[in-house]
Amino acid sequence: MFRGIRIAIEMQRVLISFVLFFFSTFLYAQAIPALQYASLGDLRLENGAVIHDCRIGYRTLGILNAAKSNAVLVPAWFTGGSGDVTMGLGPGSYIDTSKYFVIAVDPLGNGISSSPSNSATQHGTDFPQFSIRDMVESEYRFVTETLHLEHLHAVMGISMGGLQTFQWMVSHPDFMDVAVPIVGTPQMSSYDLLLWNTELKALESDPAYNHGKYTQRPALSLVALIHNMNLSTPNFRANHTTREGFQQYFEQIVTDGDRFFDANDYLRQLQALIGHDIAHGGPIFEAANKVKAKVLIVTATQDHMVNSLPPLGFAKLIHAQTLLLESDCGHMSPGCETARMNPVVERFLEQKQN
C-alpha cells in the first residue's frame, strides 16, 4: 500500500526518508519551483549574537491575489528544505495551490538559509547558536521586508515546521488568520528532551565530528540509529523489516548515517529544538493568552519524536480544534494518514479571522 514509504525506510536515508515518506502518497505533485533568496543583512539573535549577511531561502507556489489575503507560510522541518515542502503541494494535497499563494521557507541552519556550512565569515562552530524564536524572526523579516506582506492567511508546518508555527502564534499573534501546527509542540516534554539530548551527546562524542573541525562530513551513524528508532514505532519497524533483513537494514543506516546533512548544521538545529519553549520559561497560560489565530493542532498519539501531551494540553488552553492521528507510523503519521488529515486541514484553511 505504501510502497514509497517502504522504499524510503529500507533505503535508510533516515531524514530524507521522512521527506519521501511524507509526499509519496500525494497524487498531484508538481515541479519544484525555483529557489530564491532574501537578504536580511545582519540578524540579531535573542542571545545577543549576530548572524552577518543573513540570507533566507524560499520558494513560492500559486498566485497572490489582489487583496493579498491568500498567503500561506510553510516553514520546513528539521534538516528539511523548501524544495522538500513544495514537492508534494498542489490540488489534492493539504494546501491547494490553486487557491493559496504558498511560501515555503528554509529555516536557519538547514544548509540553504544562513548556516554553519555556508557562512563565509562565521563558518562551522563559529556560526552562532540560534533558537526556534530566531527562525521565526528571520521569517517575519523576510515576509515583511522582502515580500512586503502585512498579513498572512495562515502559518503551518510539519514537525520543526510545527514548532515554528507555535512560535509564530505567540511572537506575531495578529499576523495570521489561522495556524496549523502538525506533529509539532509548544514546548519540549521530558521525553522529547531525552531524545534530542541523546542525539546531541552522540553527535558531540563521535570521533569523526572532531569538535566540529572535520574536513569531510562525518556519517554520524549513532545519531542516525537513534533518530531512526524514534521516527516511527516498534510495531512499524517490526512490520517493515524482517529478522532476515535486519542486518542489511542496520548496516545501511551505519554506512549512510546522516552524511548528506552537514554535522554543524545538524548541531545548531538540534540545539534550537532542545531550547524550544514558546513560554520562554514562564507560565504556558501566558503564552496561550497571546494567541489570536484560529488554530488546528494535528498530533500523533504514537509519536516517539514529538510527544503529544504538550500540544494537546495547549489546545485546551486556547480552545483549538484538534486532529489525532493514531497509526503505527508515529511521527510519520501525517504521511500515512493523508486521507484523514488532508481534508480536515483543507477545510480549516478556508476559515477567516473573526
Sorted by where each begins, the domain ranges of the chain are: 3-349
Query: Taking a C-beta distance cutoff of 8 angstroms, is the pair 68, 147 a contact?
Result: no
C-beta neighbour count of 248 within 10 angstroms:
11
Closest by Cα among 226, 306, 208 to 263: 208
Whole-number pLDDT of residue 247: 96
Residues of the chain short of pLDDT 70, as ranges, are 1-30, 353-354
Say if CB 125 and CB 264 are below 8 A apart.
yes
Q: CA 153, CA 198: separation in Å to the nearest integer? A: 38
Give the contacts of 22 (CB within 8 A, at least 6 positions apart).
88, 158, 332, 334, 335
Phi-psi region of 16 (alpha: psi -120 to 50; beta: other; left: phi over 0): alpha
Q: What residue spans of the chain are helical by DSSP H?
A: 3-11, 14-23, 82-86, 132-141, 160-171, 190-205, 221-231, 234-240, 246-256, 263-274, 284-288, 309-318, 333-336, 338-349
Half-sphere exposure of 216 (CA within 13 A, CB side): 4
Q: What is the DSSP string of 86-100?
A: HTT-STTSSS-TTT-
CA geometry: angle 322, 323, 325, nearest 5 deg = 145
Instruction: Write out the three cell numbers for 291.
Output: 494567541
Class of domain 3-349: alpha beta
- In tens, the pLDDT along 118-145 reads 999 999 999 999 999 999 999 999 999 9
pLDDT value at residue 91:
74
pLDDT for the residue 90? 76
Instruction: Render pLDDT for 199-249 as a digit per residue (tens, 0 to 9).
Output: 999 999 999 999 999 999 999 999 999 999 999 999 999 999 999 999 999
Q: Provide the pLDDT for residue 88.
A: 77
DSSP state of 309: H
- Tell me if 93 sits within 8 A of 56, measured CB to CB: no
- At 256 the pLDDT is 84
185 in Cβ contact with 306 (< 8 Å): yes
Pairing of strands 36-44, 50-61: antiparallel
Task: Give the number of C-alpha atoms closer than 13 A to the C-alpha of residue 229, restricted to the C-beta side.
Answer: 12
d(CA 260, CA 15) in angstroms, rounded, equals 9
* Torsions phi, psi for 43 (to 5 deg): -115, 110
Say if CB 52 and CB 39 are below 8 A apart: no
pLDDT given for residue 354 in this prediction: 47
Question: Tell me, what's the pLDDT at 353?
Answer: 52
CB count in 10 Å sphere of residue 242: 9
Query: In whole angstroms, how far apart are CA 2 and each of 6, 88, 240?
Result: 6, 15, 11
Place of cell 548541531: 267
Looking at residue 30, what is its pLDDT?
54
Q: What is the DSSP string of 119-132?
A: -SSS-GGGSPP--H
